Amino acid sequence: MNIEELTAALKEKELEVRVQSVTAGVKNKTQRHTLWVPVERHRLKEVVAHLIDRTDHFPHFSVISPSDEGDQVELNYHFTVNYGIPQGEIAVTLKVLVPKDDCWVPTLTDLIPGTAFSEREIIEMMGVDVHGLEDKRHLFLTEDFPEGVYPWRRDDTGPRETNKLYEGWKE
Amino acid sequence: MKYKVPIGPIHPALKEPIMITCEVQGEEITGVDVTASQNHRGVEWIGMHRNNPVQSIYLSERICGICNLCHPACLVLAVEEIAGIEVPERAQYIRVIEAELERIHSHLLWAGVAAHELGFDTLLHYTWQVREKVMDILELVNGNRVTKAIMMYGGVRRDITDDLKPKMMEMLTYYRGLFSRMAQLFLEDKTIKMRTRNIGILTKEDAYQLQAVGPTVRASGVPKDVRQDVAYFAYPDFEIKAVTPDQLTGTVVGDTYDRIVVRLLEVKQSLDIIEQALDEMPPGDIASEEKIPKLLAQIKKAEGEAIGRHEAPRGEDIHYVKLKKGLDTLYTWKVRAPTYSNIMAWRPMLMHHQIADIPIVAASIDPCMSCTNRVITAGSSGEAILGAEELHRLSVEKTRRMTP
C-alpha cells in the first residue's frame, strides 16, 4: 500500500488528510511521509478498525501524545503502516480533540491490546478518561500521587507544588 | 495454592526500578502484572517549560545513558522537520556512524547482562572486556566514553576526520575476527541453549497485537526496523535489511535464544554499515548553521508538529514535538522509548515458565527503565519536599560519609 492508496483509503471515510514529507539520504534520496488526520472522538474506533482492515500488516501503534490546547486536549494517536518494505513505511497520526469539561475517549484495547499502557498513561498524566478500559491503575506515577493533578497539563491542574522544585520555575 | 512473588521495585535481578508481580503455583508462573514505574523524572516537563530547544538536546541525552544518541536523534529529526532546517550530507553520514557505534556497545552490554542473568559470569566479563574496544572508539571520536553530545539541529557538533579512520577500521577487523567465537560461546553452549531455547516465546501474532519493537519483534519474525522502513539520516544509502533469526538458524521460534541471535547478527550488520559509511562519507560541512542563537531564533519562528523516529538498539524510539511561534521552549514534547512498547510482551513470554526463568526472560527484551520512566510526589501527607539545593547538600553529605 503506497501513500496514494493509503490517502485514498482514509478519504473513503470522508477524512481530511494532511501529508507532511521530508527528503533524506545522500545518494539515494528518498522521502518519508507523515499523514495527519483529524478524527472526531465518536469516529475514532471506526477509523482505527478501517486502518486495521485496509493495511497489509497489522498497523503498528506507537503511542498517544497529548497536548494541552487551552479548553481542549489534543490526543495524537501515532500509527505506522507498511513496515517491512524499504523506505515504504508511512506514519499516520490520528488527531482527536476533546473538551476539558467532557474529557474522555473510547478505549482501543479491544482492537489493539497494545494500546493499554498508553491509555493508562493519558489518564494519569493528562486527566483524560478512557471509557471501556478495564485496568485504570496508575502506570508511571505512584499509587499515592495526589488526585486531580495532571503533570502534562498547562493549566491549574498541573503539578504546581512539584514544579516549584525545578530551577527556573516562574509563577 | 497460588502465591504472589514480587520482583522489584528494586531487585537484584533487575538493574533498574520496575515492579513485576508474578502469580505462581508451585514453580509455574500463572499470572504476570507489571507496574512500570516508581520513579518518574518529568523530563518532558523541563523541555516544555524551562529549557530552550538546544538545551533540551542535552537533556534528552540524559534520558538514557546507554542509548544516549537515540533520544537526541529523534528530537532533532522532529524539530528539523518543523523548522525546515537542512542537514549537510557529511553530517547525515556521521549520524549514521554514531548510531551504529552505539548499537554495537549496547548489544555487547546486553549480551554481558544476559550471560550474567544465566549465571555465566565468565562470559559476562569476557563480553564486557570485548566491549571496551568500541568504548575506546567512542571516546576517540566523541571525547567521552558514554555521553556523546554530538547531535545539533542542522548537523553534528564534531567531525570524524581522516586521522580517526585507521583506528576505527582496526575496531571493525577486531570485532569481525571475534564474531565466530562470540557466536560459538552464546549459541552453541549447552547450558545457554537449555536456558533460552523455547523459553520466553513471543509469537508473531502477540508481537503484532502488543506492538513490540526492535530486536524483540524481529526475533519473532516481524521484519520491522526503522532504519529499513523510513528514510532518515543517510540510511536510505545503505540498503538495510531487518535482521530476523532465520537468517542464521533457518527458523523463527521467537524465544530468548532467537533474541540473542538477532542481536549478534545486528552487531555484524552495524560493522558493515560503519565500514560503508567511512568509505563513502562525502566531504563538506558538518552543520548548516554554527551560531546557536541563530538556530534558536529560527526555531522560535517555527510553528507546526512532527514526529522523529530512530531505530535505537532496543527498537523504535519516537518523539512527538509541537512548536508554537514565539515560544522559547518546545510547546509539546512526548518521548516514547522502545522499552515502553516491549514490557507488555513480558506477560505472554513469562506465562507457564518457571520462577528461575524470570531474570533472563525479563532481560531478553533488553529493558531500559530510565528511558521508560521519565520526581517527587507532591502534597501527600508525611512526605518532605526537597528542593534542588537541599538534595545536592544531602548528596554531598552522603558521599563524605562514605569516603572518610
From chain A, pick out residues whose CB is under 8 angstroms from the CB of B280.
27
Rama region for B22: left / alpha / beta (φ>0; ψ in -120 to 50; rest): beta
Smallest CA–CA separation between A76 and chain B, in Å?
Answer: 9
Q: Which residues pair with A92 in a beta bridge?
A: A35, A79
Q: Under 8 Å CB-to-CB from B119, ≥6 apart: which residues?
A: none
Q: Under 8 Å CB-to-CB from B156, ≥6 apart: which residues?
A: B91, B94, B95, B98, B150, B286, B287
Q: Under 8 Å CB-to-CB from B389, ≥6 apart: which residues?
A: none
Do the chains contact at B344 and A117, CB–CB below 8 Å?
A: yes
- Give the residue extent of every domain in chain A: 3-159
Do the chains contact at B35 and A139, CB–CB below 8 Å?
A: yes
pLDDT confidence of residue B399? 81
pLDDT, one tens digit per residue, over A20-40 is: 999 999 999 999 999 999 999
Q: In Å, what is the CA distance from A49 to each residue of A58, A61, A64, A68?
A: 11, 13, 17, 27
pLDDT confidence of residue A170? 64
The architecture that CATH gives domain B5-30+32-372 is Orthogonal Bundle (1.10)
Q: In Å, what is the CA distance from B13 to each residue of B21, B37, B111, B332?
A: 13, 16, 15, 36
E strands present in A25-165: 30-38, 60-69, 72-81, 90-99, 104-106, 129-131
C-alpha–C-alpha distance, residues A16 and B198, integer Å: 47
What φ, ψ does residue B164 adopt, rounded to 5°?
-85, -20
**β-pairing, B19-25 with B28-35?**
antiparallel
Do the chains contact at B334 and A25, CB–CB below 8 Å?
A: no
Q: In Å, what is the CA distance from B96 to each residue of B85, B167, B212, B235, B311?
A: 18, 18, 24, 7, 11
pLDDT, one tens digit per residue, over A84-133 is: 889 999 999 999 999 999 999 999 999 999 999 999 999 999 999 999 99
Answer yes or no: are the C-beta atoms of B17 and B10 closer than 8 Å.
yes
**β-pairing, A18-24 with A30-38?**
antiparallel
pLDDT confidence of residue B186? 93
The architecture that CATH gives domain A3-159 is 2-Layer Sandwich (3.30)
pLDDT tens track of chain B, all 404 residues?
Answer: 889 988 878 877 677 788 888 899 988 999 988 887 666 777 888 888 888 999 999 999 988 888 899 999 999 999 999 999 999 999 999 999 999 999 999 999 999 999 998 999 999 999 999 999 999 999 999 998 889 999 999 999 999 999 999 999 999 999 999 999 999 999 999 999 999 999 999 999 999 888 999 999 999 999 999 999 999 999 999 989 999 999 999 999 999 999 999 999 999 999 999 999 999 999 999 999 999 999 999 999 999 999 999 999 999 999 999 999 999 999 999 999 998 889 889 889 999 998 888 888 888 888 877 666 644 433 444 556 667 778 788 888 888 887 76
pLDDT confidence of residue B257? 95
Question: HSE (CB half, 13 Å, CA atoms) of A91?
Answer: 29
**β-pairing, A104-106 with A129-131?**
parallel
From chain A, pick out residues whose CB is under 8 angstroms from the CB of B228.
84, 86-87
Smallest CA–CA separation between A112 and chain B, in Å?
Answer: 6
3-state helix, strand, coil in chain B (%, to 5): 55, 10, 35
Smallest CA–CA separation between B94 and chain A, in Å?
Answer: 12
Percent of chain A topping pLDDT 90: 67
Residue of A nearest to B204 (CA): A58
- In this structure, what DSSP letter does residue B354 have? B
Do the chains contact at B237 and A62, CB–CB below 8 Å?
A: no
Residue of A nearest to B380 (CA): A146
pLDDT confidence of residue B376? 40
Do the chains contact at A162 and B46, CB–CB below 8 Å?
A: no
From chain B, pick out residues whose CB is under 8 angstroms from the CB of A36.
305
Q: What is the per-residue burial (b if ≥16 Cβ within 10 Å, else e) of B11-45?
A: beebebbbbbebebeeeebeebebbbbbbbbbbbb
Q: Under 8 Å CB-to-CB from A43, ≥6 apart: which residues?
A: A13
From chain A, pick out residues whose CB is under 8 angstroms from the CB of B331.
67
Mean pLDDT for all residues in chain A: 90
Question: HSE (CB half, 13 Å, CA atoms) of A76?
Answer: 27
C-alpha–C-alpha distance, residues B30 and B3, integer Å: 10
Q: Which helix (H) or strand (E) segment is B6 a member of?
A: strand B2-7
Q: What are the grid coordinates assigned to B372, written together?
A: 521508560
